[in-house]
Amino acid sequence: MSAQSNPADAASAGTLAFDRAQGPSGRAPAAGVTVGPYAGAAATEPVACYACGSQRATHFMEAQDDLTGKPGRFRFVRCDDCALVYQNPRIAADRIADWYDDEYIAHRKKSDFGLLTPLYRWAMDRHDRRKAALVRRYVALDASSRVLDLGCGAGTFLARIKATTGAHATGVDFKDLSGLPWMDAIDFRCGRPQEQAFDRPFDVITLWHFLEHDYEPQATLAQARGWLAPRGRMVIEVPRLDSVSFRVFGNRWPGLQAPQHTVLYSRDTLLAMVERAGLEVIEWLPWGAFPAYFYLFAGVAFKLLRGRGLDLGRAVGPYFVGEALAAPLLLFEKQLNLAMQTVVVARRGGQ
């Protein structure tokens, strides 16, 4: 698919890329929808459904880069055959790294927010503690355990696992942040999952908000399945499309995170994808380690800012004030289907 695209011609006419993406059905966008150009001046490419390979899809939603305010409009479609929602056209595979600069939130080295710095650090550390607690529900880790985190970003979760359990910690990310001081304790591999090879299986493989960014999610799951020990567990967290926050915020839903989020998973499409990869569902949860509150805060902010981008330095104060006010609601985060979902899987039949 990407091999056929011509970045130069796609850049000059995102509409062309979209039209081609419609495939043999020749389906026109829904009435009232403005057609492109999409993604501003960025090179785009059409893509078939990540789950079933179908090229028949219907317009779902148009989004902006609400997080950073970079220009461009991005289209999500819904597969006519399996209902997966994905970005189409997408940023060309050889250009997507441009959208993960040093300000990208999961890769941020910045942690100086003045008087609020201790609160910010506490919140980031809390996120890693929540990840570790979620893993501990399914697997007891010790120094003999092996943990792999796909899309490890700045690696703080693995550093925590290593420090608290002694487990061997391996991280994969296409962005090389191995220069961060705590990364010394981690076996870091730079690149995509498909480019990796491991000679021993893992007891735990985690994908924290990775699969919605992945250009090959079905292949990644199949690959990870092959690396999982017979009694190992894989923990996969992604935003939940069929959640309350999506219904409230619509095209300003933080889970759209265009253009970095290439696939938007409902409960059903996520479960279908893991099962197609030969994985067995141990448990599915309507929450995750990532705070649903972030989506509530960012959703309100994105509505107000209307695509101008969120200045994290200015938002950090209101963020914590809002979290304190929302505390009674957040007590029920695990029951309210606010924004996230997590699926815990094993190799089917333990094989």
Residues that bind Zn ion (CB under 5 A): 49, 51-52, 54, 79, 81-82, 84
**Alpha-helix residue ranges (DSSP H) falling in 166-284:** 217-227, 244-249, 267-276
Q: Which is nearer to Zn ion, 23 or 309 (by Cβ)?
A: 23
Phi-psi region at 132: left, alpha or beta (left = phi > 0; alpha = psi -120 to 50): alpha
Tokens of 72: 């461009």
Intra-chain end-to-end CA distance of the chain, in Å: 33
Q: Which is nearer to Zn ion, 86 or 188 (by Cβ)?
A: 86
Q: Which residue shows structure tokens 């026109």? A: 28
Q: Least distance in Å: CB of 245 to Zn ion?
A: 24
Q: Which is nearer to Zn ion, 79 or 270 (by Cβ)?
A: 79
Phi-psi region at 166: left, alpha or beta (left = phi > 0; alpha = psi -120 to 50): left
Q: Which residue shows structure tokens 């961060």? A: 180
Tokens of 161: 């696992």
Tokens of 13: 């006419």
Q: Least distance in Å: CB of 82 to Zn ion?
A: 3
Q: Least distance in Å: CB of 21 to Zn ion?
A: 13
Q: Which is nearer to Zn ion, 39 or 273 (by Cβ)?
A: 273
Q: Which is nearer to Zn ion, 50 or 249 (by Cβ)?
A: 50
Q: Least distance in Å: CB of 242 to Zn ion?
A: 17
Phi-psi region at 32: left, alpha or beta (left = phi > 0; alpha = psi -120 to 50): left
How many CA within 13 A on the CB side of residue 161? 35
Quick one: CA dihedral 44, 46, 48, 49, positive or negative?
Answer: positive
Q: Least distance in Å: CB of 49 to Zn ion?
A: 3
The answer to whether the CB of 253 falls within 8 A of the CB of 299 is yes
Q: Least distance in Å: CB of 205 to Zn ion?
A: 25
Q: Which is nearer to Zn ion, 106 or 272 (by Cβ)?
A: 272
